[in-house]
């Protein structure tokens, strides 16, 4: 057996060893290190790749975009510990109290707001998990429906602008597009920008939210016991406003400050947390003890997210060191079936890689390799970008390795079995796949709106 | 490192050349295949391969592939990679004098920088500054005069800079802050949205060829010139000293000549592509071109003078480099008055609006 | 293996010593983690101040911006050990859940020995030179008004690994003790 297939074995070994249940971050890194050690002894691995790790870790420490992670988590834990989130969802649910599954629908809507303010899967899933899972379980929702809704809602941040994921992807695709056109001897190349991707993502993103809500409505009609109505009767307008207004104000403050440009997502996350604290204090729902719990929870979840990032960095260095990149590249070049065949395979590979690599790694590692190849075959860059984003979003949702599932598992109470989470996400995965198929046959869903904006 | 011992020892006695082959890793601060800035590393790799008949292979890694973009210096210095491509002023936290080897506000232009580096003692100082880090530096391309940046507010007087939030790194950022502005540090990936949403009012990137790709014309009203802050930015190749020493003399020479050629090639590419890109920006995207008023530029020069004095006072190596730079500047400026500058001016006077 | 399950006096002494070592590490990690956690709130407050200063007073402080980065890095680098102790690092627990106490102890003891401890030792080793270089040149911020202590920031890398190594040892020992004590 030649060393050429070692990256494939590494991938399979990680998948198998993760099943043992040792923490994901350390299993990813430890398995990769063991492979690297074996490779060095056998003379087929260049140890230089491993020595790049400190630089990678330092890059993560210095990445200002990622500062949004602990800040959004803190906002979530404060809203949770002070019971404000619960009341917000309660109030939202009252708005939908005539509708079965109203609490689920309000989770999707609250989640959509949160998703719009951050593109980081970990932060959104964790925040939504802390915010709404206890309320849903208390209201008698089946754990599967509750966790499925939260995971799916949590991954919306990938696609609903302003999304950090789309910004990174737009950056890389712009270069890939330029490169592809230069290869085709187009020396006055057309451009694609992050703004185009934002506009292109609007219709698919909102469609997704609509389909989630539709699913909840239909499912709860068929299986009412899975989602009992939160029966708090009707409320007076004043009462409703009191519960609803302050938290909504907070969300609009966070989202609005990003949209009108008062702050970057990181800064908005910062004063989102401070705003949540102020709100809790004003309502006399915050104590030193609760605040301590909130910051300690924030510490745990933040460290979990970043250790996975560091573990993934070790893994990706070793994968690259064994020539995993060449293996992938060589495969694409000998692809039958033209542009669509190649796209199909790329999508499948990205989907699988989404199990072990996070969005940022795939964006920076895989898209620069495959992007120019695909775009040189004549694909639309906006369409390709939205397809990749939707695909990864689905990958992060898919058992047993989806990142969203890990993150939610990290914050879900013990009594929720993992199998319930897996069952719960399946309908949402089907919805995602439906949208991807629709986008495959009607690329205009992504490309039409940007065209209108350009005119 | 990575020496693939495929040599069948065909070396003839007395002839240095053998057919041992070498493999290098080159890390860059740009994304893979980045137009313009990223071309130099790709060209170096291709040229070295051709010239050495495949005995030295250089594999190029984009920013973030092995190490993050701004981890290039550490990686090459410590032998994680054999070579790197980036810009010296990114490392001013490690080597304060490095700003002179890329660009300083109101400094030398591309042609003059190449002259200073290769015939004015600049490269020797560059090597001296990098020697403690086990690095051999070489010029790695030039962008030519950059653009002043994208603005959403018109700059009519120095007062218009007050409170203006701009992404402008390096010494120029200090100068801009001293002039009343606020310099904001942002990663490249956040530039577009930050300008779009107004988190910043202005930013500078490179020039029309690169800026158009990132689409800044979609989110900014005015495109200002001239690039006072980067009049002829030189990019750099850095080579790990041990990796270089491992090579036989002929391969070392090949690396140096290929670096020199690909460096010049980048300037050629920008010269060819910038004007077409600017024409398209103006004609097809209605970009409003503006020139900085003279008194604004004069105020920025005062700030630059101050920043230079500060730097020279606190860092002995910077003082040494500055002395050489300043000496060369005086001489070349004098001669260019009656050569390049005189010629470019007379071209406008004589031809007017007439096409050549 | 030192942890055989005979019960003579010498082994009992070893066990007691190991127990107190585990306790000692636990206490250290616990105290430092609880203190560290407040950095999250400090970051949020400082970020808010930065935004207010920018809009209220048209001033920006690079020092303050970098301070947020330093706090952020300290939070997740130094907190990793605490997260390990409190079980915050997620697992694929499809099978792990059903393993029972002994099975889990096996996973954790083996995982510690095979994955975590080598990883920590590796990070310490591989980052040593990287950090030493930075100290040697007293590396500072690239920004004029920035924090002049990049070498300290980089030092967090081996410190994180040593911290995690200590707690990793404690967790591995704890699991090993479970295996020894409950030996059939
Ligand atoms: Na988003
Ligand atoms: Na520039």
Give the DSSP per-residue string, B170-211: HHHHHHHHHTT-EE----GGGHHHHHHHTS-SEE--S-HHHH
Rounded to the nearest angstrom, the gap between the alpha carbon of residue C89 and the centroid of all alpha carbons in its chain is: 11
Residue A245 makes CB contacts below 8 A (sequence gap 6+) with none
Q: Which residues pair with B237 in a beta bridge?
A: B85, B138
In a domain, A3, yes or no: no
In a domain, A59, yes or no: no
Instruction: Say which of A171, A176, A263 has its CB closest to residue B188.
Output: A171
| Residue B275 zone, left/alpha/beta (φ > 0; ψ -120 to 50; rest) | alpha
Ligand nearest to the CA of B172: 2
Edge to edge, the sheet with strand B165-167 lists: B182-183, B165-167, B202-203, B149-151, B222-225, B288-291
DSSP state at residue B153 = S
Number of other residues whose CB lies within 10 A of the CB of residue A113:
17
Give the CA count within 13 Å in the CB-facing half-sphere of A433. 11
Query: DSSP letters along B59-88, please?
Result: EEE-TTTSS-GGGHHHHHHTTSSSEEEE-G
Ranges of chain B whose pLDDT falls below 50: 1-16
| Cβ within 8 Å, pair B78-C133 | yes
Q: How many domains does chain C have?
A: 1
pLDDT at A113 over 70: no
Helix (H, G, I), strand (E, B) or coil at A394: helix
> For the whole model, what pTM was predicted?
0.78
Distance A119 CA to ligand 1 centre (A): 4
Ligand nearest to the CA of A115: 1
Quote the ipTM score. Answer: 0.81
In a domain, A95, yes or no: yes
In a domain, A15, yes or no: no
Q: Give me the mean pLDDT over the C116-127 stretch.
A: 96
User: In this predicted model, what pLDDT tens digit does every residue of A265-306 receive, in sequence order?
Assistant: 778 888 889 998 998 898 888 999 999 999 998 898 889 878
When scoring C55, C69, C144 by the number of chain B Cβ atoms within 10 A, the one with the most, hence best to mutate, is C144
> Taking Cα atoms as reference points, which of B119, A431, A271, B201 lies closest to residue C68?
A271
Q: Among A100-104, A346-350, C64-68, whose mean pLDDT is lowest?
A: A100-104
By the CB < 8 Å criterion, does B199 face chain A? yes
Confidence of residue C91 (pLDDT cuts 50, 70, 90): confident
Q: Among A287-296, A381-390, C82-91, whose mean pLDDT is lowest?
A: C82-91
Q: How many domains does chain A have?
A: 1
When scoring B80, B167, B206 by the number of chain A Cβ atoms within 10 A, the one with the most, hence best to mutate, is B80
The structure tokens listed for B164 are: 């203006």
| Cβ within 8 Å, pair C92-A55 | no
Confidence of residue A235 (pLDDT cuts 50, 70, 90): low
Considering only residues 314 to 353 of chain B, which have any Cβ-Cβ distance to chain A shorter than 8 Å? none
CB-defined contacts B:C, below 8 A: 44
User: In this predicted model, what pLDDT tens digit does every residue of B303-338 receive, in sequence order?
Assistant: 999 999 999 999 999 999 999 999 999 999 999 999
Range of the domain at A213: 36-47+64-300+321-454
Nearest C-alpha in B relative to A259:
B197
Query: DSSP letters along A222-252, please?
Result: H-GGGS---------HHHHHHHHHHHHHHHH
Cα distance between residue A108 and residue A119, in whole Å: 16
Query: DSSP letters along B86-103, please?
Result: E-GGGGTTT-GGGHHHH-
Cα distance between residue C104 and residue C178, in whole Å: 10
In a domain, A100, yes or no: yes
The structure tokens listed for A40 are: 């060095």
Instruction: Say which of C86, C104, C156 has its CB closest to residue A61.
Output: C156
Cα distance between residue B113 and residue C54, in whole Å: 37
Number of other residues whose CB lies within 10 A of the CB of residue C12:
11
By the CB < 8 Å criterion, does B34 face chain A? yes
User: What protein residues have CB closer than 5 angstroms to ion ligand 2?
Assistant: B 146, 204, 230
| Cβ within 8 Å, pair B67-A178 | no
Q: What angle do CA A408, A411, A412 make, to 5 degrees?
A: 75
Positive or negative torsion for Cα B9, B13, B19, B21: positive
Task: Confirm if A10 and A319 have CB atoms less than 8 A apart.
Answer: yes
Instruction: Say which of B91, B163, B173 has its CB closest to residue C58.
Output: B163
Surface-to-core class of residue A232, CB atoms within 10 Å of its CB (0-12 exposed, 13-18 middle, 19+ buried) = exposed
Cα distance between residue A387 and residue A371, in whole Å: 12
Range of the domain at C128: 2-181
- Against chain A, the chains showing at least 3 CB pairs within 8 Å are B, C
What average pLDDT does chain A have?
80
Cα distance between residue A356 and residue A222, in whole Å: 36
Cα distance between residue A149 and residue A130, in whole Å: 13
pLDDT at A356 over 80: no
In a domain, A272, yes or no: yes
> Taking Cα atoms as reference points, which of A398, A190, A409, A156 lies closest to residue A305?
A409
Residues of B with Cβ-Cβ distance to A171 under 8 angstroms: 31, 188-189, 192, 214
Q: Give me the mean pLDDT over the A14-19 stretch.
A: 84
In a domain, A136, yes or no: yes
Instruction: Say which of C41, C48, C127 has its CB closest to residue A271.
Output: C48
- Characterize B39-69 residue by residue with b for buried, 16 or more Cβ atoms within 10 angstroms of its Cβ, and e for exposed: bbbbbbbebbbebbeebbbbbbbbbbbbbbb
> Taking Cα atoms as reference points, which of B106, B167, B169, B157 lies closest to residue B303?
B106
Instruction: Say which of B64, B74, B212 has its CB closest to residue A364.
Output: B64
Residues of A with Cβ-Cβ distance to C75 under 8 angstroms: 70, 299, 302-303
Cα distance between residue A257 and residue A280, in whole Å: 21
Task: Confirm if B150 and B194 have CB atoms less than 8 A apart.
Answer: no
A301: closest CA of chain C, how far (Å): 6
Distance B230 CA to ligand 2 centre (A): 6
By the CB < 8 Å criterion, does B169 face chain C? yes
Residues of B with Cβ-Cβ distance to C140 under 8 angstroms: 93
Residue B288 makes CB contacts below 8 A (sequence gap 6+) with B221, B222, B223
Instruction: Say which of C46, C69, C115 has its CB closest to residue A27.
Output: C115
Considering only residues 94 to 123 of chain C, which have any Cβ-Cβ distance to chain A shorter than 8 Å? 94-97, 99, 104, 107-108, 110-111, 114-116, 118-119, 122-123
Instruction: Say which of A19, A31, A262 has its CB closest to residue C55.
Output: A262
Distance A155 CA to ligand 1 centre (A): 9
Q: Among A30-39, B26-35, B340-349, C29-38, whose mean pLDDT is lowest?
A: B26-35
CB-defined contacts A:B, below 8 A: 131
| Cβ within 8 Å, pair B74-C142 | no
pLDDT at B4: 44
In a domain, A308, yes or no: no
Q: How far is CA B197 from CA A164, A233, B200, B218, in A?
A: 14, 42, 8, 12
Q: How far is CA A17 from CA A79, A242, A290, in A?
A: 36, 51, 38
């Amino acid at each position: 057996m030649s060393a050429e297939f070692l990256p494939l074995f590494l991938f399979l070994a990680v998948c198998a060893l993760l099943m043992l249940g040792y923490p994901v971050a350390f299993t990813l890194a430890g398995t990769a290190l063991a492979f690297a050690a074996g490779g060095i002894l056998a003379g087929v691995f260049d140890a230089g790749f491993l020595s790049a790790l400190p630089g990678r870790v330092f890059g993560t420490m210095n990445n200002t975009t990622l500062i949004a992670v602990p800040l959004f988590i803190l906002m979530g834990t404060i809203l949770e510990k002070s019971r404000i989130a619960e009341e917000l969802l309660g109030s939202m649910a009252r708005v939908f109290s005539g509708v079965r599954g109203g609490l689920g629908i309000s989770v999707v809507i609250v989640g959509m707001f949160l998703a719009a303010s951050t593109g980081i899967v970990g932060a959104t899933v964790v925040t939504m998990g802390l915010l709404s899972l206890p309320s849903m379980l208390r209201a008698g929702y089946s754990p599967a429906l509750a966790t499925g809704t939260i995971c799916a809602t949590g991954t919306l941040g990938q696609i609903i602008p302003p999304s950090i994921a789309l910004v990174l992807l737009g950056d890389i695709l712009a270069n890939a597009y330029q490169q592809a056109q230069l290869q085709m001897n187009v020396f006055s190349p057309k451009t694609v920008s992050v703004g185009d991707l934002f506009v292109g993502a609007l219709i698919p993103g909102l469609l997704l939210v609509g389909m989630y809500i539709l699913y909840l409505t239909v499912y709860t009609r068929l299986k009412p016991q899975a989602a009992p109505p939160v029966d708090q009767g009707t409320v007076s307008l004043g009462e409703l406003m009191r519960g609803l207004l302050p938290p909504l104000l907070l969300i609009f403050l966070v989202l609005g400050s990003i949209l009108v440009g008062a702050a970057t997502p990181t800064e908005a996350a910062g004063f989102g947390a401070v705003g949540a604290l102020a709100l809790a204090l004003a309502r006399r729902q915050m104590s030193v003890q609760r605040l301590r719990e909130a910051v300690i929870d924030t510490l745990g979840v933040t460290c979990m997210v970043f250790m996975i990032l560091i573990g993934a960095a070790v893994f990706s260095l070793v994968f690259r060191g064994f020539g995993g990149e060449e293996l992938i590249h060589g495969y694409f070049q000998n692809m039958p079936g033209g542009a669509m065949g190649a796209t199909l395979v790329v999508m499948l590979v990205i989907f699988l890689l989404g199990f072990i690599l996070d969005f940022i790694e795939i964006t920076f590692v895989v898209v620069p390799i495959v992007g120019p190849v695909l775009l040189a075959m004549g694909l639309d860059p906006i369409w390709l970008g939205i397809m990749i984003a939707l695909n990864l979003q689905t990958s992060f949702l898919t058992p047993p390795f989806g990142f969203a599932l890990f993150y939610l598992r990290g914050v879900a109470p013990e009594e929720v079995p993992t199998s319930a989470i897996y069952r719960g996400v399946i309908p949402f995965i089907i919805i995602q796949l439906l949208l991807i198929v629709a986008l495959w046959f009607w690329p205009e869903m992504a490309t039409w709106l940007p065209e209108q904006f350009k005119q | 490192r990575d020496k693939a011992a495929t040599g069948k020892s065909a070396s003839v006695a007395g002839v240095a050349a053998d057919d041992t082959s070498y493999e290098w890793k080159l890390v860059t601060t740009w994304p893979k295949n980045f137009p313009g800035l990223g071309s130099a590393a790709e060209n170096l790799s291709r040229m070295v391969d051709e010239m050495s008949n495949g005995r030295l292979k250089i594999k190029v890694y984009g920013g973030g592939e092995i190490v993050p973009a701004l981890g290039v210096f550490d990686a090459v210095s410590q032998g994680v990679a054999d070579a790197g491509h980036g810009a010296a002023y990114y490392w001013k936290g490690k080597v304060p004098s490095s700003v002179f080897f890329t660009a300083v506000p109101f400094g030398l232009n591309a042609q003059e920088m190449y002259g200073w580096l290769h015939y004015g003692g600049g490269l020797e100082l560059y090597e001296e500054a990098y020697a403690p880090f086990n690095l051999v530096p070489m010029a790695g391309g030039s962008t030519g005069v950059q653009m002043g940046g994208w603005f959403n507010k018109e700059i009519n007087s120095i007062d218009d800079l007050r409170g203006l939030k701009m992404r402008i790194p390096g010494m120029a950022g200090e100068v801009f802050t001293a002039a009343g502005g606020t310099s904001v540090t942002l990663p490249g990936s956040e530039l577009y949205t930050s300008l779009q949403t107004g988190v910043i009012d202005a930013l500078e990137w490179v020039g029309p060829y690169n800026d158009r790709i990132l689409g800044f014309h979609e989110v900014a009203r005015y495109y200002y010139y001239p690039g006072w802050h980067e009049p002829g930015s030189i990019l750099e190749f850095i080579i790990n000293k041990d990796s270089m020493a491992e090579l036989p003399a002929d391969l070392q020479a090949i690396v140096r000549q290929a670096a020199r050629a690909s460096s010049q090639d980048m300037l050629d590419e920008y010269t060819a592509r910038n004007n077409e890109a600017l024409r398209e920006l103006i004609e097809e995207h209605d970009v409003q071109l503006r020139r900085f008023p003279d008194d604004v530029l004069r105020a920025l020069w005062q700030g630059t003078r101050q920043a230079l004095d500060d730097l020279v006072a606190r860092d002995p190596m910077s003082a040494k480099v500055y002395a050489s730079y300043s000496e060369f500047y005086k001489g070349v400026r004098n001669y260019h008055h009656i050569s390049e500058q005189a010629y470019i001016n007379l071209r406008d006077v004589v031809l007017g609006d007439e096409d050549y | 293996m030192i942890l055989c399950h005979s019960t003579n006096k010498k082994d009992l002494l070893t066990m007691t010593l190991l127990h107190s070592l585990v306790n000692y590490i636990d206490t250290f990690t616990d105290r430092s983690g609880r203190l560290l956690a407040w950095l999250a709130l400090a970051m949020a407050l400082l970020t808010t101040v930065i935004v207010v200063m920018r809009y209220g007073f048209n001033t920006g402080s690079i020092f303050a911006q970098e301070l947020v980065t330093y706090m952020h890095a300290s939070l997740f680098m130094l907190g990793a050990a605490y997260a390990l102790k409190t079980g915050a690092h997620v697992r694929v627990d499809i099978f792990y859940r059903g393993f029972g106490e002994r099975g889990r102890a096996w996973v954790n003891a083996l995982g510690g020995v095979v994955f975590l401890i080598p990883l920590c030792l590796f990070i310490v080793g591989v980052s040593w030179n990287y950090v030493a270089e930075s100290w040697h040149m007293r590396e500072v911020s690239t920004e004029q008004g920035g924090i002049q202590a990049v070498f300290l920031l980089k030092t967090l890398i081996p410190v994180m690994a040593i911290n995690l190594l200590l707690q990793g040892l404690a967790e591995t020992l704890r699991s090993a003790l479970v295996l020894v004590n409950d030996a059939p």
